Structure 1
């Protein structure tokens, strides 16, 4: 009989652990805050508008949490773009604007990739950004520090 009693006690203990983990996970889900960011600007390649350039708004995460694409678009005929997005995170999001282009690139394979960090004061709690980070007019002939190549 003690063996049956130990088995039942072990099952109860396991059930309590599982229920406890479910409660912890539910609380973590509630602790994750909805955060939003928005950005706009105009891209040029020398004295011409950089139209049709791919721009993406990312939340870059450290550790095992994958980066999140918040929004993506292409610049219009004047080289302008405007976008925004939101995500849920436990900590503050780390928004980054990535620009993929071929300005002043010759026949190099892939595209030049520029990353611009968006200041934290432009992050809004909630699903809609209340402020928009204005990048201004960027000439993509510029060689940006930390510029990379993207082959996708």
Structure 2
């Protein structure tokens, strides 16, 4: 009996002076679905910090490109125009698989270096772009916890880095190989989370930590577009 069970979550936020709802969709794992008029077990999602953005539903900041382009051209025309600045970010979180802490989840921190047009394709597919810059990598400990940080040097103050974490895990996928090599964990289940801009600061050390919260990684995201995409 294959039944598709999808939950749509909406949450409220302020953007400039406008008010709107943000939204993401995920699929309930089949083991939490049962026949009858009463659920036998509860699917516990965990405790989420909803400040994050999933790359599949990210919006693009056209204003930044509009402002940055003339500044960039002006700096290029100057012999010593570029002033390089460090920008830093730090992320903390905990991953579970059901009621068990998820050990050895691989978390990578990347800087989005894609052009605007290429970003559209890669973000929709929730993939890394070929020019994205690797910043750091870590794994969850035996309690499912992790902390990762990185610093990236930018050419001018008007540019804000666009960091994201790429998460590889084996929750409910025990048939996948256990290995620390990149070739093996490329086969694992993955998802991508964009770091909110408010957690990025100038300097070689993050001033505040973006706390993701506690995630039960049994969920699966549902990508809803007019063309068919694989469920991650």
Distance 1:85 1:148, change over 3 A: farther
Q: Which runs of 4+ in 1 moved over 2 A?
A: 21-24, 63-66, 105-109, 144-149
**Greater helix percent: which structure?**
1
Q: Distance in 1 between matches of 2:89 and 2:99?
A: 30
**Greater strand percent: which structure?**
1
Unpaired segments of 5 or more residues in structure 2? Answer: 1-75, 119-129, 178-186, 224-229
Q: What corresponds to 1:87 in structure 2?
A: 152
Matched, 1:144 2:196: no
Q: Distance in 2 between matches of 1:49 and 1:106?
A: 15
Q: Deviations over 1:91-123 (max 9, x none)?
A: 211111111011112536811111011100000
Unpaired segments of 5 or more residues in structure 1? Answer: 1-20
Q: Report how far residue 23 of structure 1 moved.
A: 6.1
Question: What TM-score do you get using the length of structure 2 for normalisation?
Answer: 0.49
Q: Deviations over 1:23-48 (max 9, x none)?
A: 63x422x2x32100000000011111
Q: Distance in 2 between matches of 1:35 and 1:105?
A: 36
Distance 1:143 1:78, change over 3 A: same
Matched, 1:49 2:49: no
Q: Distance in 2 between matches of 1:38 and 1:138?
A: 18
Q: Distance in 1 between matches of 2:171 and 2:93?
A: 17
* Structure 2 counterpart of 1:35, from 74, 87, 101: 87
Q: Distance in 1 between matches of 2:147 and 2:222?
A: 24
**Aligned length in residues:** 126
SS at match of 1:77: coil
SS at match of 2:81: helix
Of 76-85 and 87-96, the range deviating more from structure 2 = 87-96
Q: What corresponds to 1:97 in structure 2?
A: 165
Describe how 1:2-151 pairs up with structure 2 within 5 A. Answer: 24=79, 26-28=80-82, 30=83, 32-63=84-115, 66-90=131-155, 91-107=159-175, 110-145=187-222
